[in-house]
Amino acid sequence: MLYCCTGVIYAQAGKGDTTKNSSAVNFNKQKDAIDIIYWFLGKDASKRIGDTTHPSVGKIFFSGAPAVAYSLQTGVTGVLEGNFAIYLGPDSTTKISSLLASIEYTQYHQLIIPARPNIWTKNNQYNFVGEWRFLKYPQDTYGIGSQTKESDAYTVDYNYVRFYQFALKKIKNEFYAGLGVQYDNHWNIKEEYPPQNSDFEKYGFSKTSISSGVAVNLLYNTRKNLLNPEGGSTYLNVILRQNFTWLGSNTNWSSALFDLRKYFKVGHKNNVLAFWTYDWLTLSGNPPYLDLPSNGWDTYSNTERGYVQSRFRGKNMLDAEGEFRFNITRNQLFGGVVFANAASFANLDNKFDGVLPATGAGLRIKFNKFSNTNVAIDYAIGKNSKGIFLNLGEVF
């Protein structure tokens, strides 16, 4: 989702990123959108170089602004967003801690209140990471499996609270392990003019659903910049979740999530070939319909460009994506990408029944050269689907 905002930015906001200072980078030879704004206002953009000095431990940085956002699932959205950031240790050995939160109201009368804490203790010994959401969220659903049609769409309205919280400890180098809780609560679930014998009803319609469990989280991450990962880095996250009725879950069920991302340098140091696989599997039991694996329900709603969020769902989801990122201008103000992805979902018989490909290309505009953050504008074409997909930072 892209945010076009106004206001003063005191620290880098978004995705819990950390930006390291480097004397080897000549920022005077680079241009970004903020430089253009400085030029338009008649100000000296070279004074921004002072922003790269090492921050003090314990100093709180804040950024906040009203904004306008857009995505296929929400349409045009009004946003009030804020981010708090702080170093709990020297920035040379400690990643920046942040809390990103917003209040959003959309063109389709959806209310969205997300918060994402990402806390790193001194020398990165512990990482406390969470994903909290409240949604009032009317949204189309299409059924289960890879063969659902656009004509199957009808609206399901619901309220939703998600509370995911993990505590991870460094085991060695960039490898972390820890435990957490994952809680999903949907209520006031309403189907609006559903077809007779819809997949939701076949699977098991209910006006409420609760999934409550504990999870093991394994993380390996060599990326220094989460908003624009460098070539040569790797990210692997494995989450094993077990839901229990004694914790409030409607049923006992378990799942596994595998999130693997690999980045390769190609030619010029800023050209990157990136691969991503996001596999979300049900190991046992039956998750509630709205908790089934579905496209666009990863943390930043980015899986399967080419399709609107929740276009496909099933007890199991396999997704693979690839992207080539390259510079267009020497000053790095403009760049581009070409990408392709494919996914498959299990049907009501729990069998994968098709492949859902998509491909596209996009423009990158350097938003902040110090954090190497891009505005991503992509156009993707899927199977009987197409659209514009916008982001602040790379998709993965």
Which of 22-36, 185-199, 299-313 has the weakest average pLDDT? Answer: 22-36
Question: Dihedral through CA 14, CA 381, CA 297, CA 87, nearest 10?
Answer: -10
The whole-model pTM stands at: 0.88
pLDDT tens digits, 333-361: 999 999 999 999 999 999 999 999 999 99
Q: Is the pLDDT of residue 61 over 80?
A: no
SS3 for 241? strand
pLDDT, the chain, mean: 89
Instruction: Compute and round to an integer the Cα radius of gyration of the chain.
Output: 21
Q: How many domains does the chain have?
A: 1
Distance in angstroms (rounded) separating the CA atoms of residues 300 and 281: 19
| pLDDT for 13 | 35
Higher pLDDT, 279 or 85: 279
Locate 157 and state its tokens: 């309205």
pLDDT tens digits, 282-328: 999 999 999 999 999 998 899 999 999 999 999 999 999 999 999 99
Q: Is the pLDDT of residue 247 over 70?
A: yes
- Show the domain range for 133: 2-392
Q: What is the CATH number of the domain that holds 307?
A: 2.40.160.50
Q: Is the pLDDT of residue 122 over 80?
A: yes
Q: Is the pLDDT of residue 96 over 90?
A: no
Locate 73 and state its tokens: 């699932």
Distance in angstroms (rounded) separating the CA atoms of residues 192 and 208: 16
| pLDDT for 11 | 34
> If you average pLDDT over residues 359-381, what whole number do you get?
90
Alpha carbon 346 to its chain centroid, in Å, reads 23
